[in-house]
Amino acid sequence: MTTIPTNKELILFDGVCNLCNTSIQYVIKHDKMNRFVFAALQSDLGKSIIEKHGIDTSKIDSILLHTPSEKIYYKSTAALKIASKLGVPISIMGVFLIVPAFIRNWVYDVIAKNRYKWFGKKESCMIPTPELASKFLS
């Protein structure tokens, strides 16, 4: 199995979702401190983390943040924690972590439920360019 670098946070994302892929491209572009590595939920690494942490993919199937301490964040908490580490202006979104998770996740779930309809879906997972390949784990 692929080893996650000890000083990196792993973002697991839906590899066939256009919204997710666009979001990952945004994170890559704005990750000036090089904090993140990435893997599709559908990858072997993604599947092993899902299994290890007992994650129900019928309820959580779009984004997970795996920290070096093995903590898993999901849904709006994952998205906001990622955003908070990307620098201004997007990092300001971290302030929404004060909103109770059940409210944030309601909004998140509406978007997640409709993401394929609104943004489309790929037939297969994104293949990173050679320049970005080191940021993607399988």
pLDDT tens digits, 32-55: 999 999 998 888 999 999 999 998
The answer as to whether 1 is a domain residue is no
pLDDT category, 3, cuts 50, 70, 90? confident
In a domain, 134, yes or no: no
The band of 1, judged by pLDDT with boundaries at 50, 70 and 90, is low
Q: Is residue 137 part of a domain?
A: no
Residue 84 lies in a domain: yes
Domains of the chain: total: 1
Amino acid, single-letter form, for residue 88: V
Name the residue among 64, 13, 63 with its Cα closest to residue 43. Answer: 13
Whether 125 shows a pLDDT value over 70: the answer reads no
Q: Does any domain span residue 135?
A: no
Q: Which residue range(s) make up the domain with 90? A: 9-123
pTM: 0.87
User: Burial, 76: exposed, middle or buried (Cβ in 10 Å; 0-12, 13-18, 19+)?
Assistant: buried
For residue 35, tell me if it sits in a domain.
yes
| Res. 103 pLDDT band, cuts 50 70 90 | very high
Task: Answer whether residue 39 is part of any domain.
Answer: yes
